[in-house]
Amino acid sequence: MTVALLGVFVMQLYYIREAYNLKSQLFDEQVSQALSAVVNKVQKRNVYTFFQKNNDQQKQKRYQDERKRALDLIEAQQKYQFHVQQNQIRREKEIESYLNEQDNIIRSTFLRPLIITEKDYLKLVAFDAKIKTSQGSIAPSMFYPNLKTFNLASPKDLPDTIRYLALDPQDGITPRFISLPKISDVLRAKFKMEDLIAKRNFDKKIALINLDSVKTVNSTINQLEDVAKEIREKDIPLQQRVNVRSLGGLLKSELLNHNITQPYQYKVASALKDSVLFLQVFKEKADFLPTNTYKTKLFGNDLFRDPGILYVSFPNKNSAILTNLGVTVASSVGLLLVLIFIFAYTLYAILKQKKVSEMKNDFINNMTHEFKTPVATIMIASEALKDPEVTEDKNRIKRLAGIIYDENVRLGNHIERVLSIARLEKNELKMEKVAVDMNELITIVLDSMSLQLQKRNASVHVYTEAENAVVMGDEMHLSNVIYNLVDNANKYSKDDPDITISTRNIGHSLVLEIADKGIGMSKEHTKRIFDQFYRVPTGNLHDVKGFGLGLNYVQDIVKQLNGSIKVKTEKDKGTTFEINLPS
């Protein structure tokens, strides 16, 4: 049983330790994850800060570039429009020169040429056949008195084809139609080429301006590269790269996100030199012990500058882990306590049974010895009565009869004591509670014991100081209590017994003391003298007779009367029994 209990105890300790290790590992992983998240956010915020700074500069530059591009576009558009206008004026002059040149040729070639409208031309074409077949010389003015000569001052209002009506120079009377294009094919091709070249030059100018805009966009795309170059600058100190206020908020938020609510303290220190940039402690004294401190680099990828180290310490780490293990530890401890209780109770029951068995064996031996003596005496007296010589002597018969009677009484008393203890154990002992004067009862008991006290030359001192010596109890059992205690005082004295009996009142209680100057007892035996069948061992000597039931009987009677009994003893100096009864 002991080995099994120790095995269970060791296994429980092992499981508790493993559970503690698992909780500790889980706590370490959660803290590591929280610190990794903090570092990532710190690095991202650092990059964002530089990016935002660079972005503001880029925004300003883009604004200036966009403004310049818009102005350049407006200027290019204006120049193009101005060039188109200038070309238009020049072209009108060239067209006017071309028309005047052609008009001179027509006027020098044909007779009386007149410019007609397209509408008149179509009407005349309808009558063209009649004109050609008509005979006689008819002046054109006779047929077209309302025709006006073309005004060359406004060539832009001219149709695409200018129509002339003239007389044939051969006969001077035949009308002829002459068509003059407003713009010749040569001029048209020239103007188209000029427009194409002007448009191409304008498109090139626009493309160059847009190219500058593309460069601006490309500079925005390459902004991260510029930020990376700026981050790698060696001259930026650690305190300018770490915002301790935002760092504290990030750390608290991430720890809560990972279900870590234990108090903590942290600091930011340089990784290249022994210096602390920031420190926040949980207690007055900052203890960053290796067992409860975690550290990580704030800028782990920074190969050019001080990466900085973040230290986070949990002073109550062990207590927090044990708190999380509260249910496990409580159940294990409860199970162990139950097992220990069962184990202890089992041992107690075994030892008690062993003690009871030993005491019963001693009781049987003592009872056999106690019963054997009167039985043997009665047997001897009975055999003597069979002797004829004895039967003739009446005095001897009377003496033998008295011996048989006394031994029967003695045997009956032994039996009655055993039966009384049995009835006490079964609560079958009936007690009549009446008013009993303990002072008088002491005197009566001492009178009944006078012969055996005188036999050992005992000295008895009685001090009945109690003014109120009346208690509610059974007179017979109370007399047995006094008898047992006085008998023990008489038996357990080496020399002439010296016995003191006293009574006194304390409050509403009566105190009865019976003291002797006998052999006394050790503390080990004092604890067991009220147990059934227990007798203080005296080696192989049996000079003191008894069953070991007397003091147990006394204790039971006193308890049934709602009283208490105490013993004070010292080896070889005597014993004092103190009984306290309600009066």
Does residue 295 belong to any structural domain of this protein? yes
Instruction: Clarify whether residues 12 and 85 are in a common domain.
Output: yes
Q: Which residues of 141-166 are buried (b: 16+ CB within 10 A; e: fewer)?
A: eeeeeeeeebeeeebeebeeebbbbb
| pLDDT for position 129 | 45
Higher-pLDDT residue of 514 and 289 is 514
Instruction: Clarify whether residues 100 and 244 are in a common domain.
Output: no
Residue 95 and residue 183 in contact, taking contact as beta carbons nearer than 8 Å: yes
Q: What is the DSSP string of 75-117?
A: HHHHHHHHHHHHHHHHHHHHHHHHHHHHHHHHHHHSEEEEEE-
| 3-state secondary structure (DSSP) of residue 411 | helix
Query: With the C-alpha atoms ordered 161, 166, 169, 175, is the resulting torsion angle positive or negative?
Result: positive
Higher-pLDDT residue of 370 and 503 is 503
CA 556 to chain centre: 58
Give the tens place of pLDDT for each residue, 147-170: 333 344 555 567 778 888 888 888
Cα angle vertex 174, ends 167, 136, to 5°? 125
Strand pairing class (265-269; 276-280) = antiparallel
Distances (CA, A) of 58 to 55, 213, 220, 435, 566: 5, 13, 7, 115, 101
Distance separating the N- and C-terminal Cα atoms of the chain:
51
Instruction: Clarify whether residues 144 and 29 are in a common domain.
Output: yes
Q: Distance between CA atoms of 400 and 391, rounded to whole angstroms?
A: 10
Residue 268 and residue 242 in contact, taking contact as beta carbons nearer than 8 Å: yes
Best-predicted range by mean pLDDT (50-64, 67-81, 394-408): 67-81
Residue 177 phi/psi, 5-degree rounding, is -95, 135
pTM of the entire predicted model: 0.39
CB neighbour list of residue 28: distance below 8 Å, 6 or more residues apart: 294
Does residue 405 belong to any structural domain of this protein? no
Does residue 115 belong to any structural domain of this protein? yes
Q: What is the mean pLDDT of the chain?
A: 77
Q: Residue 132: pLDDT above 70?
A: no
Does residue 351 belong to any structural domain of this protein? no
**Axis crossing angle, helix 326-385 with helix 394-425, rounded to the nearest 10:** 170
Residue 253 and residue 301 in contact, taking contact as beta carbons nearer than 8 Å: no
Does residue 226 belong to any structural domain of this protein? no
Least confident of 130-144, 311-325, 380-394, 518-532: 130-144
CATH assignment at residue 463: 3.30.565.10
Residue with tokens 């002439």: 496
Instruction: Clarify whether residues 116 and 252 are in a common domain.
Output: no
252 closest CA partner among 242, 268, 270, 266: 266
Q: Residue 465: pLDDT above 50?
A: yes
Last residue within a domain, chosen from 288, 323, 358: 323
Residue 320 and residue 287 in contact, taking contact as beta carbons nearer than 8 Å: no
Give start and end residues of each alpha helix (H) in 135-278: 140-143, 185-221, 223-231, 238-241, 244-257
Instruction: Clarify whether residues 438 and 520 are in a common domain.
Output: yes
Instruction: Clarify whether residues 149 and 272 are in a common domain.
Output: no
Does residue 51 belong to any structural domain of this protein? yes
Give the tens place of pLDDT for each residue, 535-553: 665 544 344 555 456 787 7
Instruction: Clarify whether residues 19 and 84 are in a common domain.
Output: yes
Q: Distance between CA atoms of 291 and 270, rounded to whole angstroms?
A: 21
Q: Distance between CA atoms of 365 and 545, rounded to whole angstroms?
A: 11
Instruction: Clarify whether residues 142 and 257 are in a common domain.
Output: no
Mean pLDDT, range 470-481, rounded to an integer: 86
Last residue within a domain, chosen from 323, 347, 378: 323
Higher-pLDDT residue of 225 and 251 is 251
Q: Distance between CA atoms of 451 and 525, rounded to whole angstroms?
A: 30
Q: Residue 146: pLDDT above 70?
A: no
Q: Which residues of 449-462 are buried (b: 16+ CB within 10 A; e: fewer)?
A: beeebeeeebebee
Instruction: Clarify whether residues 164 and 270 are in a common domain.
Output: no
543 closest CA partner among 494, 577, 509, 503: 494
Last residue within a domain, chosen from 323, 342, 364: 323
Q: Residue 194: pLDDT above 90?
A: no
Instruction: Clarify whether residues 91 and 180 are in a common domain.
Output: yes
Overall number of domains in the chain? 3
543 closest CA partner among 575, 567, 519, 526: 519
Structural domain range at position 526: 431-582
Give start and end residues of each alpha helix (H) in 232-325: 238-241, 244-257, 317-324
Q: Residue 203: pLDDT above 70?
A: yes
| pLDDT for position 512 | 93
| 3-state secondary structure (DSSP) of residue 164 | strand
Helices then strands, each counted (H, E), the chain: 17, 14
Q: Distance between CA atoms of 465 and 451, rounded to whole angstroms?
A: 26
Instruction: Clarify whether residues 64 and 167 are in a common domain.
Output: yes
Q: Residue 232: pLDDT above 60?
A: no
Tokens for 498? 């010296």
Stated as kind and residue range, the H or E segment containing 167 is strand 161-167
Distances (CA, A) of 414 to 3, 210, 368, 373, 556: 47, 133, 11, 12, 18
Q: Which residues of 89-124 are buried (b: 16+ CB within 10 A; e: fewer)?
A: eebeebbbebbeebbeeeeeebbebbbbeeebbeeb
Instruction: Clarify whether residues 27 and 163 are in a common domain.
Output: yes
Does residue 426 belong to any structural domain of this protein? no
Mean pLDDT, range 523-541, rounded to an integer: 63
Per-residue confidence at 135, pLDDT binned at 50, 70, 90? very low
Does residue 389 belong to any structural domain of this protein? no
Q: Distance between CA atoms of 499 and 450, rounded to whole angstroms?
A: 13
